[in-house]
Structure 1
């Protein structure tokens, strides 16, 4: 008797990563690069001091892409201890705007406090003022074929 393969059976398991310093955040930034998300999928919960984005990220870590093509997966990018959120070049009130994440960086102000900057395509940016750097990136769906069928590329 044969059974269909399950996502959980594969070697390529869902990501669940944490970052507590700038070096850790570089790993999350690399894995989240070129993620896209509607502006409506960002939330700042002031009471919980948490900023969350539901991303559609490229599975850069996917070793099987030659076999099945480029995949994306929905992932939650969560920042804790967020005291303030500011944005530039992000349309307000247009929930259908699709944003593309280019990079995530951390800069200390008064250690361990600092600013996390999410750099977006088109000169947009979101800056989070945090008491301390605490971030997670967690895959929450099964991978799916990228609608374009292509991996993003960057001219240098």
Structure 2
């Protein structure tokens, strides 16, 4: 007898995903939603044309199993890397406040001409980071073991 795969059938392994088109980026965005990071963990390497964030990512993919087994929600540190970055701009962020903690709500792509475009990192509190890219190439890679979310709660958004 065959059945559909479930989350439980997957390995409890670190994520390592790539996005090369807007549809892939939607998946990556959903898994990075509600990630938090100190402003000091944001880097633009102009020569390498790379923008990177070290995130504390909520493990949305583990939520069904955690609820079913009564486990606390988890987070994991992950690297979100955008390559082919030509220019970086931000708004609504005080980059001089080294104690600032930011919360990522979404990652989206607006195509331009000939594969170029803009990656928009939408942050809570009306902040945003806009990356002008030569081509869409993003990765999300877990780099630590999961840990219990300090709040012991699942992120929520007021309607």
**With structure 2 as the length reference, what TM-score do the two structures score?**
0.90
- What displacement does 1:153 show? 1.4
Q: Secondary structure at the match of 1:64?
A: helix
Matches within 5 A, 1:79-90: 79-90=82-93
Which residue does the alignment assign to 1:74? Answer: 77
**Greater alpha carbon shift after TM alignment, 128-137 vs 103-112:** 103-112
- What displacement does 1:55 show? 0.2
- What displacement does 1:154 show? 2.2
Aligned residues, how many? 147
Structure 2 gaps of 5+ residues are: 1-9
Q: Deviations along 1:64-99, whole A, 9 cap, x unmatched?
A: 312321000000000000000000001121121000
Which residue does the alignment assign to 2:102? Answer: 99
Which residue does the alignment assign to 2:66? Answer: 65
Which residue does the alignment assign to 2:4? Answer: none
- What displacement does 1:111 show? 2.8
Distance 1:65 1:32 in 2: 18
Runs of 4+ in 1 over 6 A off after TM superposition: none
**With structure 1 as the length reference, what TM-score do the two structures score?**
0.91
Structure 1 gaps of 5+ residues are: 1-9
Superposition RMSD in Å: 1.1
